[in-house]
Amino acid sequence: MVRVRFAPSPTGFVHIGSLRTALYNYLYAKRHNGQFILRIEDTDRNRFVKGATENLVRVLEWSGLIPDEGPMKDGGFGPYYQSQRTELYLKHAQELINTGKAYLAFDTPEEIEMMRSGQKKAGNYSPMYNFVIRRQMRNSLTMSEQDVQDELEKQTPYVVRLLVPENQDIEFDDIIRGRVVFNTKEVDDQILIKSDGFPTYHLANVVDDHFMQITHVIRGEEWLSSVPKHLLLYRFFGWQVPHMAHLPLIFNPDGSKMSKRQITDAVLRKESDDLRKEILSSEKKIDPNLELYIQAGYEREAILNYIALLGWNPGEGDERQIFSTSELEQEFTLERVNKSGATFDIKKLNWINREHLVRISLAETRERLKTLLEDHQIDPFPDHYLLQVIELLQPRVNFIDEYWSKGLYFFQDPVEYDRDGIKKRWKDRSAHLILEFFDKISKLESFTAENIETRLRQITEQHELGAGQLIHPVRLAVSGTTAGPGLFEMLQVLGKETVMRRLKRAAEIIPSLKS
């Protein structure tokens, strides 16, 4: 059975790249009827952020990427927090020490820094603690057994390092990148157990993947250089190596790597419209904090759809761009993930969001609109009215909350009128024409778009005016804005009583605003 894992560190907000890793693991598991496991790699206590794990779980629940196993659902391979598995790591570190595959190093931070400085002065600008250096340092390879024992009895801080063989090629087949070859001269004697007794990512990762029976390791390209260390550990333990796939990096529009920029609470507390402006305001760098996009009102399916396309495509000649998560489960393969990096394009995300919004049924949109109205403390409207509003506004909205922000006048009378619109559209005779229009439509027995348009054009033809000279003032009077759906259809939906009330009020108020 295919078993994959998403193994994040709780060190801050959920990065867009992290969600893509989770998504690809989830999709691969679903495509192959496998298991998707969540494991929390929380052994780096210096970088641990309180609440990050809970936030991570909330994001996975929001996204619908529900683990088959993990902290919330034991599948028999737990515990799923690495901080609760330290005995297992220490046991296997000791096994490596006993078999001569790892050693103790007592070097102080100052001694390490002195070594690095000396190497740089000697022309080695990328110094590593490896087979060239290890014999010059204070470790169990250079010290006598008695000296080592004395240091242990004095409780001198030490780390456990991997004994990397000299000048060996290490090869493996990556599902995405093909054959990859490293030489051990490029690999340092990686720390396996830190001086605080906690394992590093490398040891814990390999031990957990083995004991959790992970069959496929799908993770970001940034871990590619760590593979030789992991393969050595698999070799030293005599374990089978899982299949590996390293995902391409995600870049900003300016070509830089999308970084973990810290987001302030003040930004996240902004309204959805303001958050979207914040996101769009940066043309060169994209904010990687997933929570920002959630609070900005992007559709869940749209975010997953777009993130899936950051590195994957449905195949040569297949031009499809819009996928539901269930469709992605059927289509996704690692073989169609690109080697090269992907550039985050906020405009494409917005387009995909709009396409997913259109896909939502009218009934579901109506229920979500009801929730919006409740949030703004607006009394309920009949279902048939809300459906008419949705049909009119749907071509003009890109986010669900825009049914409120762009269609406010469907739910309450304007409390103010667009000042620029008044200056541009409201003429000296507009109030008179509005009242004449008021009189005409007051006599209508059937308040339809067609009948309303007929009456309006009768007035403009009688006064030898272009229709726009009345259409624009009417729109401004009824909606308070200068843009929106077709005027006559809008008036029909609003209804005769509402339209007449607003026309009369605008004819009284707007002239005083113009002066």
Mean pLDDT of 473-502: 97
Predicted local distance difference test score (pLDDT) of residue 510: 94
DSSP string, 86-139: HHHHHHHHHHHHHTTSEEEE---HHHHHHHHHHHHHTT-SS--SSTTTGGGSSB
Rg, the chain, Cα only: 32
Q: Sorting pLDDT into bands at 50, 70 and 90, what band is 283?
A: low
* Per-residue DSSP letter, 62: H
Q: Give the percent of the chain with pLDDT over 90.
A: 83
pLDDT digits (tens, 9 = 90+) for 204-260: 999 999 999 999 999 999 999 999 999 999 999 999 999 999 999 999 888 888 765
Q: Sorting pLDDT into bands at 50, 70 and 90, what band is 270?
A: low
pLDDT digits (tens, 9 = 90+) for 337-393: 999 999 999 999 999 999 999 999 999 999 999 999 999 999 999 999 999 999 999
Predicted local distance difference test score (pLDDT) of residue 263: 46
CA distances in angstroms from 249 to 5, 115, 187, 224, 287, listed in the order given: 19, 33, 22, 11, 15
Q: Sorting pLDDT into bands at 50, 70 and 90, what band is 404?
A: very high
Annotated catalytic residues are 260
DSSP string, 323-340: --HHHHHHH--GGGB-SS
Q: Give the integer Cα–Cα distance in Å for 18 and 288.
A: 10
- Strand boundaries in 281-381, DSSP class E: 342-343
Predicted local distance difference test score (pLDDT) of residue 267: 46
Q: Sorting pLDDT into bands at 50, 70 and 90, what band is 264?
A: very low
Longest Cα–Cα distance of the chain, Å, equals 111
- Residue 41 parent element (H or E): none
Predicted local distance difference test score (pLDDT) of residue 50: 83
Mean pLDDT of 472-501: 97
464, burial (CB in 10 Å: exposed 0-12, middle 13-18, buried 19+): exposed
255 Cβ contact list (under 8 Å, min separation 6): 343
Q: Return phi, psi of residue 344, to 5°.
A: -75, 120
- Residue 446 parent element (H or E): none
Higher confidence at residue 281 or residue 491?
491
> What does pLDDT average to over the chain?
93
Predicted local distance difference test score (pLDDT) of residue 98: 97
Predicted local distance difference test score (pLDDT) of residue 262: 44
Predicted local distance difference test score (pLDDT) of residue 124: 82
Enter the tokens of residue 192: 């396996």
pLDDT reading at 65 higher than 50: yes
- Binning the chain into helix, strand and coil, the percentages to the nearest 5 are 50, 10, 40
Mean pLDDT of 316-320: 90
Count other C-beta atoms under 10 Å from residue 421's C-beta: 19
Q: Which of 240, 241, 238, 236 is nearest to 100 (CA)?
A: 236
pLDDT digits (tens, 9 = 90+) for 444-471: 999 999 999 999 999 999 999 999 999 9
Q: What domains can be seen in the chain, in order of their start residue?
A: 85-247 (3.90.800.10), 265-359 (1.10.1160.10), 413-514 (1.10.10.350)
Mean pLDDT of 53-59: 90
Predicted local distance difference test score (pLDDT) of residue 266: 40
Higher confidence at residue 52 or residue 24?
24
pLDDT digits (tens, 9 = 90+) for 112-163: 999 999 988 888 878 899 998 999 999 999 999 999 999 999 999 999 999 9
Predicted local distance difference test score (pLDDT) of residue 265: 45
Taking each helix axis from N to C end, the angle separating 496-514 and 430-442, rounded to the nearest 10 degrees, works out to 170
